[in-house]
């Protein structure tokens, strides 16, 4: 496992996916504000605000889908590598967490698409299970299998390899040739 295991650099993951998440949250907040202010007016139309919120949550679901794709590429590249037990546990915990977040995002998308009088939003059990419990599980898994503890016990790279990566960046992946 190393820089060649992933299609993006760690810095690009941070830049792309944190930006997308913040942007989606801002869009959702704007929509929530519009819907809230319209709901306090007599005959106020909450549809534009609700539609804006839905656009934000759909954008978030799209960006999570792209992340899941890249995570899948990473998993495919490391599946045949011999990983220390602690890294296998960390990868399994990350898979579980990503799955919980993804299912919750699908639920939130469907919930908002149904509108303020929809079935999911008017039945609290779905919110408790498909929103709250899934997010507790997504975060809680890292309380049990703490990345700080698991990475601390991971084998270290030789200093020469670390210096080469710092100086030259991650090695480029070789594309498979069509000659075979």
pLDDT for 161 equals 52
- Gap between the Cα atoms of 1 and 127, Å rounded: 38
What does the block give as tokens for 3?
A: 């820089």
pLDDT in tens, the chain (180 residues): 666 788 898 899 999 999 999 999 999 999 999 999 988 888 888 889 999 999 999 999 999 999 999 999 988 988 888 888 888 899 899 999 999 999 999 999 999 899 888 999 999 999 999 999 999 999 999 999 999 888 886 666 655 555 555 555 555 555 555 554
Q: How far apart are CA 138 and CA 133, in angstroms?
A: 9
**Mind listing the pLDDT tens digit for each residue in 81-107?**
888 888 889 989 999 999 999 999 999
pTM (2 d.p.): 0.75
Centre a 10 Å sphere on the Cβ of residue 143 and count the other Cβ atoms it contains. 8
């Amino acid at each position: 496992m190393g820089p060649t295991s992933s299609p993006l650099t760690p810095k690009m993951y941070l830049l792309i996916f944190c930006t997308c998440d913040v942007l989606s949250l801002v869009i959702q907040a704007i929509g929530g504000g519009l819907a809230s202010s319209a709901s306090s007016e007599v005959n106020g139309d909450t549809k534009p605000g609700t539609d804006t919120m839905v656009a934000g949550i759909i954008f978030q679901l799209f960006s999570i889908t792209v992340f899941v794709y890249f995570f899948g590429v990473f998993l495919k590249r490391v599946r045949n590598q011999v990983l220390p037990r602690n890294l296998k546990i960390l990868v399994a915990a990350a898979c579980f967490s990503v799955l919980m977040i993804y299912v919750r995002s699908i639920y939130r998308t469907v919930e908002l698409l149904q509108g303020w009088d929809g079935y999911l939003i008017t039945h609290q059990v779905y919110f408790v299970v498909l929103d709250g419990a899934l997010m507790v599980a997504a975060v809680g898994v890292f309380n049990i299998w703490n990345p700080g503890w698991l990475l601390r016990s991971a084998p270290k790279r030789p200093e020469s390899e670390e210096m080469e990566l710092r100086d030259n960046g991650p090695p480029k992946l070789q594309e498979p040739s069509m000659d075979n």
